[in-house]
């Protein structure tokens, strides 16, 4: 007689954490443009390939020091604000990721608390939420200003769980960068990657349970079903 295979049920999703760039907003092209203009303004010309450094969830001061060398705290603040000013100049090009606004609103109706965990600045995070008219939907906003180390360090996700007041095993994160997936998984959080086909394999290898291109058709019920299937495959 073949013994029955028992698949452990997935813990109910009781909290959601979103990254910002590439998850809430399709901002990477504008983000690159803003950094390029800022660096040119301080006499630093970089190639498109070199600008790839900015897209992996790093804190702003890490990016500034990478391109400009050692800087004082005052310089980091001044240059960071100047970069944000350049970003606001190109914000007309930024759109929300398809389906994400509807999904955030569904989470509100389902009484599932939502947090933002971004390596970006507090100023830019709040400006982005306000522009999308989503500020009131987010119970917590955690930025690079709130943690010592940026992603892939898991601190930002641990802080997000604390502020949501939800255990990590009941939380799902949405991330578009390998460092972000590793940060979420390091904090004990399940993670769904957001990216096009060419990025999907990297996100899965980093630990993402599933990858979506956007949020069109995504629902909390569907999300729990996906995670249940992944849990069953892992158990088998």
**What is the CB neighbour count within 10 angstroms for residue 201?**
13
Distances (CA, A) of 62 to 2, 20, 96, 102: 56, 18, 26, 33
As a whole number of angstroms, the distance between CA 232 and CA 236 comes to: 6
Half-sphere exposure at residue 26, Cβ-oriented, CA atoms within 13 angstroms: 14
Q: Residues 30, 67, 204, 167: is their CA dihedral positive or negative? A: negative
As a whole number of angstroms, the distance between CA 157 and CA 180 comes to: 9
The answer to whether 19 is a known catalytic residue is yes
Positions marked active-site = 19
């Amino acid at each position: 007689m073949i013994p029955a295979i028992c698949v452990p049920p997935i813990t109910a999703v009781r909290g959601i954490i979103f990254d910002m760039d590439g998850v809430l907003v399709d901002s990477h092209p504008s983000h690159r443009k803003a950094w390029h203009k800022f660096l040119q303004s301080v006499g630093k010309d970089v190639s498109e390939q070199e600008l790839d450094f900015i897209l992996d969830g790093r804190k702003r001061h890490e990016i500034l020091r990478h391109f400009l060398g050692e800087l004082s705290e005052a310089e980091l603040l001044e240059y960071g604000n100047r970069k944000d000013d350049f970003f606001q100049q190109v914000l007309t090009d930024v759109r929300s990721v398809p389906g994400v606004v509807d999904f955030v609103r569904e989470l509100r109706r389902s009484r599932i608390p939502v947090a933002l965990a971004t390596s970006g600045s507090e100023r830019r995070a709040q400006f982005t939420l306000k522009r999308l008219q989503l500020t009131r939907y987010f119970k917590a906003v955690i930025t690079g200003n709130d943690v010592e180390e940026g992603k892939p360090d898991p601190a930002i996700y641990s802080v997000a769980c604390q502020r949501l007041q939800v255990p990590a095993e009941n939380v799902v994160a949405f991330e578009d960068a390998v460092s972000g997936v590793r940060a979420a998984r390091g904090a004990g959080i399940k993670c769904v990657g957001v990216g096009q086909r060419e990025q999907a394999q990297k996100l899965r290898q980093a630990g993402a349970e599933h990858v979506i291109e956007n949020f069109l058709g995504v629902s909390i019920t569907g999300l729990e079903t996906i995670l249940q299937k992944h849990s069953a495959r892992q158990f088998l």
